[in-house]
Amino acid sequence: MRKLLKTLETFRGRHTELISLYIPSGHNIQEIMNMLKQEYALTQNVKSRTTRHNVLNALEKTMNHLRLFKKTPPNGLVIFCGNVSKTEGQPEIKLWSVEPPQPLAQKIYWCDQNFVLDPLKDMIREREVYGLIVIDTSGSDIGLLKGKKVILEKHIDSLVPGKTSKGGWSQQRYQRIREEAKNEHLKKTGEVASKIFSEEKDLKGVIIGGPGPLKERFKEGEYLDYRLQNKVLGVVDTSYTSIQGLQEIIQRGESLIQEASATKERHIMEEFFEHLKKDDGLSVYGLEEVEHALDYGAVKTLLISEGFNWTRAKLTCSCGYSVEKDVNLDRVEKCPKCGKEMTIEEEKDLIEMLSERAKSLGSEVEIISIDSREGEQFKEIGGIGAILRYKIV
């Protein structure tokens, strides 16, 4: 999906001729067809002959594709279609069709110079989840950051009395009661947060915040489940509690999230290159070697560079020659028979195929950035590799 979005981002129409169609799960296909027919009729009135021709062809291609479906897939359907030719006067109408990773809630039809990609980008971001806790003596709020969305999961009222002692109580007794109430509040917050966070399989980290010193005590007292302790990224000061406090944690803890992601990636790359240096057979790189390791179920962590630009494609040539193979999109594929440049007719997202295969085998999948020295070095050796569970003999 990331690879597809990266590809689609590169296209810009000369005019408003790129179609984006988002169909929610369960939506009536015939209703969408009727809408597209209306758009087809309206497009007949477009003054520019070139734009009119390209949009009509894109609409026709989209409707033909929709006829393949009796109903929408479980998560809905997203179609991108339009003229992506870089040569004026030589249109190339291409169509991409995907089922989103999460159920679509909103129907979108848009024709513009760019494809509408934000809804899918947000879904991909939501796979990265962070736990948020804002706590003080007045109460605590537990939330999740999913992509750009902050979700308040639970508010817990505190029974901690104020600092002023009640009449008839000694200061010492009152402070003891107050400390006991604080401890109960911390324990309850830890139990509830642990339950919520443990259910999130994509949890990347936890950030704790609050306007007072209780947040530090919560962290140091290890009130969270022991399995979550090493996921605590840090503690930040906030001016608020409730949803405002959770949102403030994100603003003030942004560097913690970035640092945690970079640190994890650095450790993975160090492990990968250390195995290569030792030549112990626990690191492999290159598409063929990685697929071989997947065949054996030996992959512990699949590593894919952001700069990995390969796809599994069906290539055709005007001379009639065709072939299906893995190709590097940064290179021009020449026909072995006549020497002409070949055209990609169909392609499958290689990153998605390998990732799904790895996950089905219980392997972790890490996308490696190209912003670090190690990430750039990894890209230079092909941009795909794996750390293995065991050496393949």
Residue that the structure tokens 């790129």 belong to: 18
Half-sphere exposure of 359 (CA within 13 A, CB side): 10
pLDDT (0 to 100) of residue 81: 96
pLDDT (0 to 100) of residue 52: 93
pLDDT (0 to 100) of residue 348: 78
d(Cα 168, Cα 239) in Å, to the nearest integer? 34
The DSSP symbol for 126 reads T
Three-class SS of residue 249?
A: helix
CATH superfamily of 262-388: Ribosomal protein L30/S12 (3.30.1330.30)
pLDDT (0 to 100) of residue 205: 92
CB 238 within 8 A of CB 252: yes
d(Cα 263, Cα 258) in Å, to the nearest integer? 9
Instruction: Answer yes or no: same fold for 129-252 and 262-388.
Output: no
Alpha-helix runs per DSSP H in 279-391: 287-295, 350-360, 373-380
d(Cα 367, Cα 355) in Å, to the nearest integer? 10
pLDDT (0 to 100) of residue 166: 56
Half-sphere exposure of 346 (CA within 13 A, CB side): 7
Q: How many residues in total does the chain contain? A: 393
pLDDT per residue as tens digits for the range 98-133: 888 888 888 999 999 999 998 988 787 656 789 999
Three-class SS of residue 306?
A: coil
Residue that the structure tokens 């000369």 belong to: 14
* Domain 129-252 in this protein, CATH class: alpha beta
The helix (H) or strand (E) run that includes residue 266 is helix 254-278
Sequence-distant (≥ 6) Cβ neighbours of residue 36 within 8 angstroms:
21, 59, 62, 63, 66, 109
In terms of C-beta density within 10 A (0-12 exposed, 13-18 middle, 19 or more buried), how is residue 106 classed? exposed
CA angle 26, 28, 29 (to 5 degrees): 110
pLDDT (0 to 100) of residue 111: 94
pLDDT (0 to 100) of residue 167: 56
pLDDT (0 to 100) of residue 280: 96
Positions of the chain with pLDDT under 50: none
The predicted model scores a pTM of: 0.58
pLDDT (0 to 100) of residue 202: 82
pLDDT (0 to 100) of residue 106: 87
Residue that the structure tokens 């796809």 belong to: 311
Domain extents in the chain: 2-121, 129-252, 262-388
Query: Which is nearest to 210 in space by CA: 131, 139, 129?
Result: 139
* Architecture field, domain 2-121: 2-Layer Sandwich (3.30)
